[in-house]
Amino acid sequence: MDQKTHGAYDGAAAAFAKEWHEQPPPTDLQSAVLRYFKPGRTADIGCGSGRDAGWLNDHGFPAVGFDASPGLLAEARRRYPQIRFVQSSLPELEGIADSSFVNVLCETVIMHLQPEGIAPSVRKLMAILAPGGTLYLTWRVTEGSDLRDTHGRLYSAFDSSIVFRALSGANIIVDEQVTSASSGKMIHRVIARKSDKK
C-alpha cells in the first residue's frame, strides 16, 4: 500500500473506525454478497476496523480479515474478538495460500495503491480464490489525475481496463458504476467468478 495512506490510517485508526461504523450500513454490498457468494471461508482484504468481516461472519460466510494497518487491526479485534484478523497487504498478501478461500471481498481498497500495483493485486486476489470462487471488488472512482485527501490518503485515477485485463479468464458477473449506499461516494463494482477448472 502507498506509505502515506498507510500512515494516515494507522495514525488515526480510532477516528476512522468511528466514522465507518457510524455510516449507513452497506446494504448494496450485503445484497450482492447474499446473491453471489457461496457459503464458505471468506477473506476480507483491507478489512479496516472489521465492519464487513463482522457482517460476513454473521451471515454464513466465516471470515478472516486482512489489513496493512496495525492500528485498524487493533480496532477490528476489539470490536469483533470472535474473528481472526491478520496483518497482510496488497499486492503480495503474504501468508495467504493460493486457492484457500471460497469468497474474497475487497471493498474500496485498490484505489489506495499506486497504479502499477493494481494489476498484480487483482491477480493475487484471484489466486487466493478456490476454483469456482467469487471475488467482490470495488474501488472509488477518481476522475482525471491521482489525488490525496486532507488525511494524505492516495486516490489513484486509473482506467478500469487494468482491472479487467488482470481478470482475464474469470467470468464477470457484475460490472457497474454506482453510488455506495454506505459512503455516498461513486464506486466501480465488479463481481467475478474464478473458473472451476483446477
Give per-residue pLDDT as tens, 8-45. 999 999 999 999 999 999 999 999 999 999 999 999 99
- Identity of residue 4: K
Per-residue pLDDT reduced to its tens digit, 124-180: 999 999 999 999 999 999 999 999 999 999 999 999 999 999 999 999 999 999 999
Q: Are strands 101-106 and 42-45 parallel, antiparallel or unpaired?
A: parallel
Looking at residue 198, what is its pLDDT? 61
CATH 1.10.530.10: does it fit domain 3-193?
no
Q: Is 110 left (phi over 0), alpha (psi -120 to 50) or beta?
A: alpha
pLDDT digits (tens, 9 = 90+) for 66-86: 999 999 999 999 999 999 999
Radius of gyration, CA atoms only, the chain? 15
pTM surpassing 0.75? yes
What residue spans define the domains of the chain? Answer: 3-193
